[in-house]
Amino acid sequence: MADFPATVDLQIADHVAVVTINRPDARNAVDASVANGLAAALDEVESRPDVSVGILTGAGGNFCAGMDLKAFVRGEVVRLPDRGFAGVTQFVSRKPWIAALEGYALAGGFEIALWADLIVATVDTKVGLPEVKRGLVANAGGLVRLPRQMPSRIAAELVLTGDIVPASQLQPFGIVNRLVAAGQALEEARQIALKIASNGPLAVAASKRVLQESIDWPRAEMFERQNEITLPVFASADAKEGASAFAEKRAPVWRGE
């Protein structure tokens, strides 16, 4: 496993990777060290065949307060080429990611969460895109992802007011998959991750790709484009293994091929 800065931790068990932003004294705000550490951690997860799912979380009771404004003033680079803010928000991963939110998930921190495929938050979690209050804009995904993931007028209110709101307020709009008690976000995310990790990795990767890319597909081309991605899965050894395991009433042994 690669070496990571002290500001980012990576733990792997049961085919699940947990990546933790570890700057609790700064509410896990992103400086150059965090950005480079997260980029390295995501690369590690992406390259490892023994990892099926990733979880992103934060240490010390907060997810991430966004960009470290002091680091910004110092000129630290927190947006990496082709990877976006924190080395995350423009990164394309074949594997599913779950954001486990505690405490504050603000500005770029909330945008990191919006990058993930699923979000688990607690009843105490506060989210928001307050960039406009600092003369900045939420261009790490907030402006383009939020209105695709919830009603556009609700998204506009969050963006234009910069208000910070309870995550529970956004659950009815589908931003949050699970809402749990304080301190339980990571464990809930882990339970979801274990369910995903028990499935065929080729099937999961193809399904994720179609879910993400098909938003922009013309209706007339949807099934043709989908079939290009999904039909190879039906011809895979894993597909045969899945069917055999079902017939034999045993757990499948996936090979990812």
Task: Give the residue numbers annotated as catalytic, written as ranges.
Answer: 111, 131
State the Cα–Cα distance between residues 46 and 186, nearest whole angstrom: 20
CA distances from 215 to 9, 105, 117, 256 (A): 33, 26, 14, 26
32: which DSSP letter?
Answer: H
End-to-end CA distance of the chain: 24
> Beta strand 97-101 with 53-58: parallel, antiparallel or unpaired?
parallel
State the Cα–Cα distance between residues 25 and 65, nearest whole angstrom: 11
The set of residues, in sequence order, having a beta carbon less than 8 Å from that of 71 and lying 6+ positions away, is 29, 30, 31, 32, 78
Report CA torsion sign: 22, 105, 10, 177. Answer: positive
CB 242 within 8 A of CB 187: no
CB 39 within 8 A of CB 47: no
State the Cα–Cα distance between residues 102 and 180, nearest whole angstrom: 10
